[in-house]
Structure 1
Amino acid sequence: MSNRLQSKVVVVTGGTSGMGAAFAKRAASEGATVLIGARDRARGEATAAEIAREGGKALFVPTDVTVEEEVAHLVDVAVTEFGGLHGAFNNAGGGDSQGALRDIDTSFWNRVIALNLTSVFHSLTYEIPAIVASGGGSVVNNASVVGVVGDPAAAAYAAAKHGVVGLTRSTALEAAKDGVRVNALVTGLVNTPLWQGFTKSNPAAASALLDRQPTGRAADESEIAAFATFLLSDESPFITGAALAIDGGLTAGY
């Protein structure tokens, strides 16, 4: 493992399981000090402790990304405790995200948009100035394949993730002059605990999704973490404003 994030301070939202936890571990193994922002204290502290046992540096900061003040606090801890902020993986999202337009109401819509889009707005609002003040860096927002294609069974979620892609591109244009890169990951099927639970509870539906996957499999969490780490490193200085598919070719067929 290289040290390409050596001396960098990064935050990850939704960092207690799945892609977020995998990224936190990978970034720490590459030399970063990682601040894990999430709601689940027990899992957050366990993830930070696991990183410490492996010789890395991590701190869990209780954070509900739908609450602006808590996101601001997460960034403030990075700056005050560790001297700055150089990168972020805005990964938090999901929840009750499925539902065709005819089946959802305003409260459902607001909840999905808050968790999956407004949370990224909060994060960027506080991360970008801190990264600029630290001399520049990189932000990666976790979107989804439904950030670039439609899904008739996930109207609110698709709208939110399309919003993440648009917000990413606009913020990248705004922040480029200040030395901050901003990109989005267009992730497909990933072997997270959520996917594993879905395959057990809905095996036929999971099989149908895999049949549409050119590679015939879901990505491992470590594959997403490795790519996000690359984008946060100094090895990707000319990549910004991009919605980068890491989906096993799924969107290539649309």
Structure 2
Amino acid sequence: MTQPVALITGGATGIGKETAKILAAKGAIVYISGRRSDVGEEAVAEIRAAAAGSGGDAFFVQNDVGDEEAVASMFSDIVSRHGRLDMAVNNAGINTESKTLADSDTQAFRAMLETNVLGVYHCMKLEIRQMLAQGHGSIVNLASIAGLNGIPWTGTYAATKHAVVGLTKSAALDHATQNVRINAIAPGAIHTDIIDASIALGVYDTSAIAAIHPMQRMGRPEEVARAICWLLSDEASFVTGHIMNIDGGFQAK
């Protein structure tokens, strides 16, 4: 059986890293991308440790998904090495402010658009082209409960995640008969390093975040990663254009 090749943007921390661990432990060659090489190389060591004995491996690529030329170079390198890309997770994303729309900052919004929308767009274009050329592939994008709802103090961020949902559903319909599946995950609040940093700065309150979910807690990165890996796999072969809620019951309210 051919060893699968996967790319996870923003794969050095949180949900991306946990997804990479699972895929590598199942024998995949996993490329993770991110802006910080020190964090990326640390993540590679963790992923390789999780993959010990499986035949899986991991590599880090320093990359900014908002830079279309850099993204094209990354894809060219992966495909030249392996001849294909079987799975992709467009996970890189940022949230640069928590304000009402009236008080929001245009430059902060522009930064989120560059990463959260154009970053996904840049990657999806190349992923889909390669997967069509090879005759198969599976893509999972990271949306959010903010991409399905209006949430106070997050209007600009929510707009970017609504865009991810639109890109996902439309591209899934474009290629539904071509053996390329495209889905998205809509997580609730997930307990990552980014959340911890925000809590430490007083931006968020742990109990308040937990309380918005009927399960009365935040999610864990591995809980989202397991769902991503299922959507990527052949076990989800009849699933495309789906936005999966991993949100402790938030969307059921």
Shorter chain as denominator, the TM-score bin is over 0.9
Checking the alignment, whether the CA contact within 8 Å between 1:198 and 1:206 is kept in structure 2 is no
Tell me the equivalent position of 1:199. Answer: 199
In 1, Cα distance between equivalents of 2:167 and 2:100: 23
Matches within 5 A, 1:55-66: 55=52, 56-66=56-66
- Indicate how the Cα distance of structure 1 residues 211 and 51 shifts in structure 2: closer, same or farther if over 3 A, else same: closer
- Asked if 1 retains the 8 angstrom alpha-carbon contact of 2:95 and 2:157, the reply is no
Aligned pair in 2 of structure 1 residues 159, 37: CA closer, same or farther (>3 Å)?
A: same
Residue 6 (structure 1) shift: 6.7
Q: CA deviation at 1:199?
A: 3.3
SS at match of 2:138: strand
Q: Which residue does the alignment assign to 2:46? A: 50
Find the counterpart in structure 2 of residue 240 from structure 1. Answer: 240
Query: 1:105: how far off?
Result: 3.4
1:104-144 CA distances to partner (integer Å, 9 max, x unpaired)? 23322211111111111001011111112222111000000
Residue 161 and residue 97 in structure 1: after superposition, are their counterparts in 2 closer, same or farther (change >3 A)? farther
Shift of 1:177: 2.2
Cα distance in 1, alignment partners of residues 21 and 204 from structure 2: 33
2:8 equivalent in structure 1:
12
Alpha carbons 1:37, 1:61 under 8 Å: kept: yes
Q: TM-score, length-normalised on structure 1? A: 0.93
Contact 1:97 1:112 in 2 (8 A): no
Query: TM-score under structure 2 normalisation?
Result: 0.93
Q: 1:183 to 1:204 in 2, by over 3 A?
A: closer
Contact 2:136-2:178 at 8 Å conserved across structures: yes
Paired with 1:153 and 1:134, the residues of 2 have a C-alpha distance of: 43
For 1:90 and 1:82, locate their aligned partners in 2 and report how far apart those are by CA, in whole Å. 20
User: Tell me, what secondary structure is at the counterpart of 1:178?
Assistant: coil
Across the aligned residues of Structure 1 and Structure 2, the Cα RMSD in angstroms comes to 1.7
User: Which stretches in structure 1 are left out of the alignment for 5+ residues?
Assistant: none
Give distance in 2, aligned partners of 1:143 and 1:175. Answer: 20
| Amino acid in structure 1 at the alignment position of 2:34 | A
Cα distance, 1:51 vs structure 2? 2.4
Identical residues among aligned pairs (%): 39
**CA distance change for structure 1 residues 240 and 199 in 2, over 3 Å: closer, same or farther?**
same
